[in-house]
Structure 1
Amino acid sequence: MNIVVIGKSGQLAHEIMRLAGDDSVHCLGRDDINILDAVNLASVLNRFQPEGIINASAYTGVDKAESDQTNAYALNQTAVANLATYSKQNHCHLVHVSTDYVFGGDKGSPYQVDDNYHPQGVYGASKAAGEKALLDIYPQASCILRTSWVYASHGNNFVKTMLRLMAEKQELGVIDDQIGSPTWARDLAKACMYAIKNQVSGVHHWTDNGVASWYDFAVAIQSLALEKGLLTHAIPIKPIPSSAYPTPAKRPHYSVLDKSTLASEFSALVPQYWRKALSDMLDELT
């Protein structure tokens, strides 16, 4: 299959390329295509004649978005609308990656795919706007995959930051009142490729199985890293409330995503438990 991935430098695109196999996968970054310019976007994509497009690009600076609203909406809404319009006009399937931040985090139980949007900041609001644009323009042959807490051996993410801090610091304080599901980018990449190749449509949630706080996640990172020789000694990790670490953007306190639609639409894929995925990812760093 001929597939174009938008978002060349990100950890998800990196994992998709590793899974390409016999498929022809082309990753395009900002130096290759201007997704904010519909004319340039069409001109570049026409060279590849894609059967499917995976949008792995986004404005992901959650805190920076609070003071950079124009650019956040440009990448998270306008660019998505442009990709949806092109895909509709050229009859190619579109998979778009979204986020748990479109929800408020105050429901107290896992979010269903059709729950109402209630973003807490500009990042979440701009991602919700992108989802709405896609659903308005091209619902019949597009798939929205919401995910959360993505990490990989490639790029910058929570896991690699924790490993660095654990090697440098005498102790760490990590937030324990934000609950979600860590997700290995490799597993998310498999879901994206499955959705493209099987022409899955609609809104779905993909994360690794299980739930954790950021504190739980950090404790697991240290424990597994010690087992694998990535760290030489343990340091104290203390649970702290969000109020002790104020940020420009408010984070959802409980943003676990319900994955019940996967049984029918992604029947050949079963998310693995997040701690097993973390162990597999850390093996790549040894």
Structure 2
Amino acid sequence: MTRYLITGAGGMLGRDLQTALRGRAVTAAARRELDIADADAAREAVRGHDVIINAAAYTKVDDAESHEDDALRVNALGAENLARAAAEEGAVLVQLSTDYVFDGTATSPYAEDAPLAPVSAYGRTKAEGERRALAAHPDGTIVVRTAWLYGQHGPNFAATMLALAAQRATLTVVDDQRGQPTWTHDLAEQIVRLLDSGARSGVVHGTSSGETTWFGFARAVFEEAGLDPERVQPTDSSTFVRPAPRPAYSVLGHDAWAPLGLESIRDWRSALADAWRSGAIARPSA
């Protein structure tokens, strides 16, 4: 019987992973229960498990600019600790990563082996986490990069748009950042398929197929909610200056799935429709 450990189990993806693994032997460790930056705690948590899915992360992108050491502690040291412990245990580690490991200047989807070039503190710490995990356990670490996540169990862009829709007649959303909205339900299911395929190492991109901008995503959310999409108006990033730079282009390629005998995650628009129908996106208040 395969025994799974999910770190960061209280987060949006962590909770959907628990659902995707329902009926299997799963230990779910939330952040308050396991500090993965503590090497001894990580080793003890990993003991007795065959698969570790590391969904724990410091994800405050803007705060990381002034607290990079704190982000590095979780995103890099924590990943390294889990990888070392997994290597000792003979277990597989799935290390969740991000589109922020790239600089966002590409004009075609980033391949899985594209050079890492983060431009933010958050991106640097996640890139370092990839490097350390792969170095510590090269034959048993799978890096899964994802982006633009939304889901039922945490704050996210789709829910924010609907909350704002209840407060404002119109919204302005940036139309010069391009990526792949990805439902955490779909990502969780894809990770389980990946593990069931027998894969033990490598890098894959766990994002939805297709692409859009934040503006296009917002309009799609309005359409699903039965709201007038014309209430969403486009703007550019210069109107929303934040401490951490955002990648202008975050579209990730999916070529690594076919050699594993797996299809990439479905189109983002189809997933959004199902997410709405399932109630995974909060409906606007009356």
The bucket for the TM-score relative to the shorter chain is over 0.9
SS of match in other structure, 1:272: strand
> What is the CA-CA distance between 1:195 and the residue it aligns to?
2.6
8 Å CA contact retained: 2:144, 2:206:
yes
> What is the CA-CA distance between 1:42 and the residue it aligns to?
1.6
Q: Within 5 Å, which residues of 2 pair with 1:109-188? A: 109-188=108-187
8 Å CA contact retained: 1:172, 1:235:
no
8 Å CA contact retained: 1:103, 1:117:
yes
Task: Summarize deviations over 1:69-93 as a string: whole Å, max 9, x none.
Answer: 1111011100000000000001001
CA distance in 1, matches of 2:35, 2:124: 22
**Matched residue, 2:37:** 36
**Matched residue, 2:12:** 11
Q: Percent identity?
A: 36
**Matched residue, 1:273:** 267
CA RMSD of aligned residues (A): 1.4
Equivalent of 1:247 in 233, 242, 263 = 242
Number of residue-to-residue matches in the alignment: 278
> What is the CA-CA distance between 1:237 and the residue it aligns to?
1.0
CA distance in 2, matches of 1:277, 1:162: 17
8 Å CA contact retained: 1:73, 1:126:
yes
> What is the CA-CA distance between 1:235 and the residue it aligns to?
6.1
CA distance in 2, matches of 1:136, 1:279: 40
Whichever residue aligns with residue 236 of structure 2, its letter is P
Task: Summarize deviations over 1:127-156 as a string: whole Å, max 9, x none.
Answer: 000001011111111100111101102211
> What is the CA-CA distance between 1:30 and the residue it aligns to?
2.3
Unaligned runs of 5+ in 2: none
8 Å CA contact retained: 2:31, 2:56:
no
Whichever residue aligns with residue 276 of structure 1, its letter is S
8 Å CA contact retained: 2:147, 2:207:
yes
Indicate whether 1:236 and 2:240 are aligned: no
8 Å CA contact retained: 2:149, 2:184:
yes
Unaligned runs of 5+ in 1: none
Deviating above 2 A after TM superposition, structure 1's stretches of 4 or more consecutive aligned residues are 43-46, 194-199, 267-270
Whichever residue aligns with residue 107 of structure 2, its letter is G
CA distance in 1, matches of 2:229, 2:99: 31
Whichever residue aligns with residue 252 of structure 2, its letter is L
Indicate whether 1:194 and 2:188 are aligned: no
CA distance in 2, matches of 1:89, 1:45: 9
8 Å CA contact retained: 1:2, 1:24:
yes
CA distance in 2, matches of 1:8, 1:116: 30
**Matched residue, 2:222:** 222
**Matched residue, 1:25:** 26
Q: TM-score, normalised by structure 1?
A: 0.93
8 Å CA contact retained: 2:190, 2:265:
no
CA distance in 2, matches of 1:237, 1:172: 5
SS of match in other structure, 2:208: coil
Q: TM-score, normalised by structure 2?
A: 0.93
SS of match in other structure, 2:144: strand
SS of match in other structure, 1:3: strand
Task: Summarize deviations over 1:4-53 as a string: whole Å, max 9, x none.
Answer: 0000211111111111233111210123222111112222333xx11100
> What is the CA-CA distance between 1:270 and the residue it aligns to?
3.8
SS of match in other structure, 2:53: strand
Q: Within 5 Å, which residues of 2 pair with 1:99-110? A: 99-110=98-109
CA distance in 1, matches of 2:59, 2:238: 22
**Matched residue, 1:95:** 94
CA distance in 2, matches of 1:234, 1:122: 34
